[in-house]
Structure 1
Amino acid sequence: MAPQTPATATSDTLMSLQGITLAFGPKVIQKDISFNIKRGSIFAVMGGSGCGKSTVLKSMIGLLRPTAGHYLVDGEDYWTADPAHRQTVSRRFGVLFQSTALWSSLTVGENVALPMQMLTKMDPATVRSQVELKLGLVDMLHAIDQYPSELSGGMKKRAGLARAMALDPDILFFDEPSAGLDPITSARLDDLILNLRDGLGATIVIVSHELPSLFKIADDGIFLDAKTKTPIAHGAPSWLHDHCDEPQVHAFMHRERETESGRTD
């Protein structure tokens, strides 16, 4: 069966990429990227190593301007808008980087407080209350006075997630959230992401190649191909697993099952 194609934008479309090309000088990373993200969904950007997943994410959070195409948020073009409007839209974004990017010299609480202190006029008491609330949501309140060096990998991810939620964003971006985590910790993080989506009504974009997480939490997605430098499949990971006959997608989606059963073909 052929891969699904991106649907036409509708009233429930929050973000839309239309014919996006991403490049560093003459080097094209991905081209002809088109997909829509519905409000309240968990959308996965998938593909093998080096295909440009994180580059797509960087463009969506405003760190890399595309060389062609349009990126719409609530129907307005992010990159052609004036800087003030882009800043307003960017305030709606919360980002969990793969490395978590926590400041090592700050405690967990201070890391979460930093966006509030820099970008709002909250008084110290309100900031403290919000920090405790965000850390409570990710079960990290007990670590409010600890430094990143004192945390496990899973705790760092949760602390990074609390900071991503500091300004109450309605759009969350996660870059390889399960990378480096053991299966149990990864599964707990998946549950946390689902709870945040359901409890806060946030829309989530996740970059990942971790199949268990993709099957569990993502309800839509795009698959990027490193060789053609284009998206070659669109749909929920579970749908792609069962129905997509594109060779690269099939190999990606079935690799864990084949490994577990001893197959090497």
Structure 2
Amino acid sequence: MTHDETLISVRDLKIAFGPKLIQQNISFDLRRGSIFAVMGGSGCGKSTLLKSMIGLLRPASGQILLGGEDYWAQNEQRRTELNHRFGVLFQSGALWSSMTIGENVALPMEMFTSFSADMIHRLVKLKLGLVGMEHAINLMPSEISGGMRKRAGLARAIALDPDILFFDEPSAGLDPITSARLDELILTLRDGLGATIVIVSHELPSLFKLADDGIFLDAQAREPIAHGAPRALRDHNTNPTVVSFMNRAADLSSAPQTRG
């Protein structure tokens, strides 16, 4: 499900920590209904770019346009209002360990809506039901598996019905079966909620299954070196770094086996 409407435009973005350049010359458009992948090897700045897009890290220069508004040119109050359009699933799930799963999901509603306690409880059950976690509403994060924590984090990410979801390495630490189930859930939510998704990942099966567009960041060049759907980059790109990254699973499977 893709449309022509552009939700986010990134223009000539430069990200740095003081004098240390992370990435520069980043430009792309995020279309409504798409799943956009931020790809690249470890340490290239994938998660750092995501932090700039969700308001956690001010870029050194450039623009992030959300509905035509320059996000980082707005005052703090307006940026907070724009943030309500975002839902974020962090790599660890980032659940509050002292709260039940239900309380974690309820927290954004309690902070940013005027819903009654009964309405919030109903919505929490609905959001947890969407990710297959309604049974865990009264459990603590320590009482559930890593995959379940990711799903609970996803329920919290959709608590305020955002139209843009950001996922930072959603499959990190999960076994292949649990990872595949999470991928299916992400597609279901995209189709069911009409959400637009930005996913940071280096997991090839997830990238090939989920993303219809993307950008490839390179740690050495410190700028994007490819742009397009992961499958297209795998099949048609000629940059050696991109080719090696997108075909590494085939390289591993053909490597000679050794006995320990």
Q: Return the alpha-carbon distance in structure 2 between the equivalents of residues 12 and 110 of structure 1.
A: 35
TM-score, normalization by structure 1: 0.94
* Identity of matched residues, %: 67
Q: Return the alpha-carbon distance in structure 2 between the equivalents of residues 94 and 198 of structure 1.
A: 16
- Of 130, 133, 144 in structure 2, the residue corresponding to residue 140 of structure 1 is 133
Shift of 1:225: 0.2
Alignment root-mean-square deviation, CA: 1.2
Shift of 1:75: 1.4
1:129 is aligned to 122
Q: Deviations over 1:67-87 (max 9, x none)?
A: 111110111111112323211
- Of 10, 23, 33 in structure 1, the residue corresponding to residue 26 of structure 2 is 33
Q: Return the alpha-carbon distance in structure 2 between the equivalents of residues 104 and 81 of structure 1.
A: 33
- Of 142, 149, 156 in structure 2, the residue corresponding to residue 149 of structure 1 is 142
1:162 aligns with 2:155: yes
Q: Deviations over 1:79-104 (max 9, x none)?
A: 11232321111001000000111011
The aligned amino acid for 1:194 is L
Shift of 1:142: 0.4
Q: Return the alpha-carbon distance in structure 2 between the equivalents of residues 23 and 262 of structure 1.
A: 38
- Of 6, 10, 20 in structure 1, the residue corresponding to residue 13 of structure 2 is 20
Find the residue that maps to 2:214 and give its secondary structure: strand
1:230 aligns with 2:207: no
Find the residue that maps to 2:110 and give its secondary structure: helix
- Bigger relative contact order, structure 1 or 2, given CA contacts below 8 A and separation 6+? 1
Find the residue that maps to 1:31 and give its secondary structure: strand
Q: Return the alpha-carbon distance in structure 2 between the equivalents of residues 11 and 180 of structure 1.
A: 35
2:45 is aligned to 52
Contact conserved, 2:35 with 2:199, CA < 8 A, in 1?
A: yes
Shift of 1:257: 1.1
1:263–1:223 distance in 2 versus 1, CA, 3 Å: farther
Runs of 4 or more off by more than 6 Å in structure 1?
none
1:193 aligns with 2:190: no
TM-score, normalization by structure 2: 0.96
Q: Return the alpha-carbon distance in structure 1 between the equivalents of residues 194 and 61 of structure 2.
A: 31
1:4 is aligned to none
1:221 aligns with 2:207: no
Contact conserved, 2:4 with 2:32, CA < 8 A, in 1?
A: no
Deviates more, 1:82-91 or 1:204-213: 82-91
Task: Identify unmatched segments of 5+ residues in structure 2.
Answer: none
